[in-house]
Structures are given as structure tokens and as C-alpha cells.
Amino acid sequence: MINKLKKVQKFWQSTQTQQALHELKHIAKSDPKKFPWWLASTLSTSSSFVDHPILGNQTLNDLGLHEFRVKQAFALAQARREKLAQFLSVEDIAQYQQNGFILKENFLPDAEFQSLKKELTETPLPTRETLQGDTVTRRMALDFRTLPNLPQTKKLLESSYWQHLIHYVASFKLQPLYYVQVIISQVRKSRPDPQTALHSDTFHPSMKAWLFFTDVVEDEGPFVYVPGSHLLNDKRLAWERERAFNIQNSDRMSQRGSFRIQESELVDLGYGAPKKFAVSANTLVIADTYGFHARGLSARPSMRIELWAFARRNPFLPWAGLDVTRLPLIKTRLIPALWWGLDQMEEYGMKKNPWRKVGKKVATDPAQITSK
């Protein structure tokens, strides 16, 4: 007991601890009302260095704040996946652990796939679009309004095999956001879509999934992923620490928590070359987007259509379940709540919603927003 007390005393008296406390006191004085939230949210999904005075503090990151968050989030995700592994095959687990993604070609029986494809590509659905660079991203929510009229889709999303795959990669039994997503490339002459730069979505493991309804050609905007880059090694951790320390000199997306990386840097971190997913329709890809990924460049105007899923939860939770968003009355209302919140922020002059309503469309319709 005495030895433990001495260790605690030594920790509090250390130079590093005193430096950290000094910085936190200074931040607290700058806005005492917001400080408790800033402090608590260091153990959350918060990732922006520019909007968060603790996360963006250079001294704290030099002392290892960002490094600590990355290490703890990774370790907890691995522990949660160990609990979820019982629901997957050895082959699926091995594929994920090695690569950071699970690739399933011919995922559905052909008749089921054709029925699902027809349902989701020919049914008019409420649609929103956003324009980034020369690319339009279209999303059509699969929610409580649309799913009752989409029986094949509902059947897939409620199937245990689908959910087990999603949950394992996400490291949580959670409720993803589901959309029909359409990527429409080269709708105007402009700089490339910023999503074409290799990047990690955030500092912790998270999940995105694509069930492709169209064949994806290598030079028409395929999904790109760096195999193995979901793994946290010493070189990656040092790179994360250096990027966080010098965040003020980084690009805007990195400053908001989505670190960009040059392909030439990958070998220094112990990773291989990026893989382009030039795949046939009916291919499912579920990826941990802590790993470096991008949308490949398109050599010509093209359209990619997919069932798309996204899921992210507080990475510092030790348990895999207990997600209230999976409750029946909540799970299909998440996207409407998200859209409403973004619309309200714009209405009150807080922030423009980049996702613009374009009415009811079918997936194959041409882009509606082609200029800003």
C-alpha cells in the first residue's frame, strides 16, 4: 500500500504532470463554463484539433495526449473484437486482422442480389447531395420512412450474418447509418475531390461498408485501402504524435482530426502499397477506416452505386453492447435526426449544411448539384 502511495505521489510531482496541470489551468481560465465539457470529451469521439483547446494544445500533445488516446482506443477495440469473434468464421477474422477489411465477393445469391439491386436503384427515395471538388456524393436514407417499402433491404439489414460482420469490424454491437450512396465523378471542372487523398477518418477504429451494385473499374473512382494500416505499430504511433504536435502546420482536414498521408510515407510506417478495389457488382467490403484509405481518381465521368453503411461509437467504452440506438423506436430514426440537426444549425446561422435536399430521385438519376 505504501509503495502504491509513493508511486501516486511521484506521478503528481513529476515535471510532466505539473506541465499538463499548468496547461489545463490556463485552458480552464479561458472559458470556465466550457472547460468541464472540453475535459470530459477527451474521452469521446471528439477529434478536431482546431475546435477543441485541449486536443489541439501543443504542449499536451508533446506530453503524449494524442498518443494516449490513440493507444487506448486501439487496445479497447481489440478487446471488444475478441468478444465478438465468436460470431464470425476463422477466415473472416483472419482476413480482417491481416488487412483491416473483410472482402466478400458474390456476397448474396444472384437472385437475391438482383432483387435487392432493383429495389434500391429503381425506387424513388428522398435524396440529398453534396459537391466536393469535381465529385457529387448522393445519399438516400434507409430509415423509418423508406424501409417499410423496401422488403429485400430490410431483410438483409436485419440478417444476423450481415450484422455480425458489421459489428466485428466496428468493434461494437451498434446501429449503423444506412444509405444508398452514389458517387458521381467529374460533374464539373474543378480540383479533385478531397476524399481522393489517402487519409484516416479519425484517431480510433471505426467502420464503413460498401455493397456495390455496379462493377467498379480501376480508373473510375474505386475504393482504395492500405492493407494492414489499421494496425497500430511503434512507427505509426510516432507519426501520430508528430502530426498532432505540428497540427498547426497541417491541412484543414488533418486539423479537423482526419490525418492525410502521402503514399511515399507508407513504407516508413511499415505498410505496403494501397489496394484499389476494382470489383464486380455484388462485392461487399467492410473496412476499419482508422486504416488509410481514399476514393481513387476517376479518369472519366462515372457513377458508382452502393449500399453504404457508417458506424462510429465512443472508443473508450470497454463494453461491446448496450447501444441504445439499436432500440426499435430509435434505430431507424437516427438519420432523420441527423439531417434535422444539420438543417437547424443552418437555419440559426451556425453552420451551412453541405447536404442539400434535391427531392425524390432514383439512384441512377444525373447529379442535381453541379455548382456552388
Flag whether 292 is in a domain.
yes
Flag whether 227 is in a domain.
yes
Q: What is the DSSP string of 108-133?
A: S-HHHHHHHHHHHHHS-EEEEEEEET
Task: Report how far residue 101's alpha carbon sits from residue 104's, in angstroms, rounded to the nearest whole number.
Answer: 10
Specify the DSSP element, H or E, that contains 208: strand 207-212
In degrees and rounded to multiples of 5, residue 141 shows phi and psi of: -70, 140
Please report, for residues 66, 86, 139, 283, the alpha-carbon distance to residue 226 in angstroms, rounded to integers and kept in the order given.
Answer: 22, 26, 25, 18
Pairing of strands 101-104, 302-311: unpaired
CB atoms within 10 A of CB 191: 9
Flag whether 53 is in a domain.
no
**361, three cell numbers:** 430521385
Flag whether 59 is in a domain.
no
Flag whether 92 is in a domain.
yes
The CATH number of whichever domain residue 218 belongs to comes to: 2.60.120.620
In degrees and rounded to multiples of 5, residue 291 shows phi and psi of: -65, 150
Give me the pLDDT at residue 79, please. Answer: 98
Flag whether 177 is in a domain.
yes
pTM above 0.85, yes or no: yes
**CA 323, 327, 332, 334: dihedral to nearest 10 degrees?**
-40
What mean pLDDT is predicted for residues 105-109? 98
Flag whether 10 is in a domain.
no
Give me the pLDDT at residue 2, please. Answer: 61
Q: Give residue-wise pLDDT tens across range 13-65.
A: 678 889 999 999 999 999 999 999 999 999 999 999 999 999 999 999 999 99
Q: Quickly state the pLDDT bin for 7 (edges 50, 70, 90).
A: low
Residue numbers of the domain that contains 206: 64-313
Q: Give residue-wise pLDDT tens across range 130-176.
A: 999 999 999 999 999 999 999 999 999 999 999 999 999 999 999 99
Task: Report how far residue 265's alpha carbon sits from residue 259's, in angstroms, rounded to the nearest whole number.
Answer: 13
Domain count, the chain: 1
Q: Give residue-wise pLDDT tens across range 296-314.
A: 999 999 999 999 999 999 9
Residue with cell 458508382: 304
What mean pLDDT is predicted for residues 62-75? 98
In degrees and rounded to multiples of 5, residue 294 shows phi and psi of: -165, 175
DSSP state letter for 104? E
State whether residue 41 is helix, strand or coil.
helix
Task: Report how far residue 38's alpha carbon sits from residue 24's, in angstroms, rounded to the nearest whole number.
Answer: 10
Q: Among 24, 58, 45, which Cα is nearest to 248's?
A: 58
**283, three cell numbers:** 462485392
The C-alpha R_g of the chain, in whole angstroms, comes to 22
Task: Report how far residue 240's alpha carbon sits from residue 328's, in angstroms, rounded to the nearest whole number.
Answer: 39
Q: Quickly state the pLDDT bin for 3 (edges 50, 70, 90).
A: low
Q: Give residue-wise pLDDT tens across range 163-222.
A: 999 999 999 999 999 999 999 999 998 887 889 999 999 999 999 999 999 999 999 999
Pairing of strands 207-212, 223-225: unpaired
Flag whether 29 is in a domain.
no
